[in-house]
Amino acid sequence: MPQIIKGATSPSGARVTDDRVRETVAGVISDIRARGDEAVRAYSEKFDNWSPASFRLTKDEIRSIVAGVPETTLDDIRTVQRNVREFARAQRESIGDFEVETMPGVFLGQRNIPVSAAGAYVPGGRYPLVASAHMTIVTAKVAGVARTVACTPPIRGEIPSATVAAMSLAGADEIYLLGGVQAVAAMAVGTETIGRVDLLAGPGNAYVAEAKRQLFGEVGIDLFAGPTEILVVADEYADPFVVAVDLLSQAEHGPDSPAVLVTTSEQVAQKALEHIDTLLPTMSTQDYAGPAWRDHGQVIVVADLDEAYTVADGFASEHVQILTRQPREALERMSQYGALFLGEGTCVSYGDKVIGTNHTLPTRGAARYTGGLWVGKYLKTVTYQEVVNTGSSAELGELCGRAARVEFFEGHARSGDVRAAKYAGADLPWAPEVYRAGSA
């Protein structure tokens, strides 16, 4: 049985949405439906103290903002976006259209069509997540989305220049300095000045997450977001200092972010705990990382790697980092994760910020049934059918008639009957006389 060295003191991944959050979000969405831009402006003033003449940045304003960003920052943004773009392109190339002939003259096909418009929400606040611009906008443009709308809030009344630069360099067609539920709702339902989108992507606080939940169905969304998660699988060869640093790197996302170590070595576990106790007080983000580790951190010692992989799969964690002598073994042994990070040379922070894979990943156990945001999320996989052989149509018609009547769908059956009659002379006992005996 696994040995719990440190357990969580609070349940992680709680699905309960605060009634106040739910009601506030519902009210904002309803008001924006009714009053459009007027409501958007009112909520922006209320929540962000922000009410410019236009929330949308002009091309000249964008150029001016980008020009004020340090060149090193711009170069870094371009490099990261190149990495994201190259991986997204590889994903897009892996998705093919096809057509097959399943019977003589029966052609079935598949096409992958990008959504017409996508909305990207890039959070601000304490953590202006510049990288979210790369993950949402670059990926959408690689998928072929014609219109990509990007929203980000002002930060304490200031324009987040690096975020705007990232949005622009990523290829956003429209950029709005607008945050919170009002931004998400405006993109989803449309206003007088903000055209509605077909799909929303990007992280946010509890209010933004709840807005996406309430709007899902009216628009598509990337994922139902929860607290960031990390799980480290380590054997006796792992460096406990690296283990500690990497666990805390994700705990700083928020006070409810689970960080879990599953290891075959009690020595690694104890040393990692000692390092965490030393490192936490030195972190500028200890007000988030401290409660996250205290309440949601876990350390579990298991007998061997077989048990480690089983325990790790049970968590279905967003990020799983493999710090073992043979890390690629996890590719064959594990199946429940948002993303794997293999070996000491790889860390979750690379995935969050720079390496090129998408950092929008499933949380709260959703890795059991879905992966993360990828280029395919912006595509609609649709099918088409064509039957040009009359004999095949007649055969399908007879089959359709029998299959539909088993389900008591008489109208469906008759559509098949008509083809069987017209192309093969089958009788139509339910039709007027003139159409019977193949005379249709």
User: Residue 176: what are its φ and ψ, rounded to 5°?
Assistant: -120, 135
CB burial string 141-168: b at 16+ within 10 A, e below: bbbebebbbbbbbbbeeebbbbbbbbbb
37 Cβ contact partners less than 8 Å away, ≥ 6 residues apart: 191, 192, 193, 194
- 263 and 233 Cβ atoms separated by less than 8 Å: yes
Q: How far is Cα 153 from Cα 151, in angstroms, rounded to an integer?
A: 7
- 134 and 170 Cβ atoms separated by less than 8 Å: yes
Distances (CA, A) of 433 to 252, 402, 412, 417, 427: 78, 22, 20, 15, 10
CB burial string 299-337: b at 16+ within 10 A, e below: bbbbeebebbbebbbebbbbbbbbbbeebeebeebbebb
- Look up 318 and say whether it is catalytic: yes
Closest among 351, 306, 352 to 330, alpha carbons compared: 306
- Strands 379-387 and 106-114: what pairing? antiparallel
Q: How far is Cα 142 from Cα 146, in angstroms, rounded to an integer?
A: 10
**Dihedral (CA of 128, 140, 179, 370) sign:** negative
Spacing of C-alpha 364 from chain mean position: 13
- 268 and 304 Cβ atoms separated by less than 8 Å: no
Closest among 315, 337, 395 to 13, alpha carbons compared: 315
Q: How far is Cα 151 from Cα 225, in angstroms, rounded to an integer?
A: 18
- Look up 307 and say whether it is catalytic: no
Tell me which of 319, 344, 359, 395 is the catalytic residue.
319
Residue type for position 122: V
- 292 and 235 Cβ atoms separated by less than 8 Å: no
User: Residue 327: what are its φ and ψ, rounded to 5°?
Assistant: -65, -30
Tell me which of 229, 252, 318, 344 is the catalytic residue.
318
Spacing of C-alpha 319 from chain mean position: 14
Closest among 233, 311, 289 to 265, alpha carbons compared: 233
Active-site residues: which are they? 318-319
